[in-house]
Structure 1
Amino acid sequence: MIDLDKIPKDDYLQLVELMGKEDAEAFIEKKQYNYYDISLKILFLRLKKNIKKKPRLFLLIFLIILALVILYYLDLFLII
């Protein structure tokens, strides 16, 4: 049984929604109620779910960020 005093109930419910009850409880016990690891897992699972839902949008965002990084580094080395 999960001790809900150690992690917020809302985060527990989100994790159960994303992973399933058994997997969520096993993950929480494996991480020994480490809230940082649990919250990161929720963020990554939500991101993965959204990427599967709208892959073109995330590909476009990734390409824009990549272009900005490349332009930034080119600008650093090409300034005379």
Structure 2
Amino acid sequence: MFHACDAMLTPKDVLYLEDLLDQTFVLNKRITNDVTMIQNEEVKTCFEEVNTNLAKHYHTMVELLQKEVKE
């Protein structure tokens, strides 16, 4: 059974998630900048797909955290 108190984040959880989001954001920006230097199209496509997934996961986490804050 799910209890409302199970959904609460501790301050340590929030710091961990903040760090994870910061690192994901930086990695996304770095890939965006560096992908232009990749010559091999197959490798370039792979990095672009990874970057797209990183961005999706980043936005999903932000949305989930925003919901958590509102509840």
TM category (shorter chain) comes to 0.3 to 0.5
Structure of higher RCO (CA pairs closer than 8 Å, 6+ residues apart): 2
- The structure that is helix-richer by fraction is 2
TM-score normalised by length of structure 2: 0.39
Q: Rg: which structure is higher?
A: 1
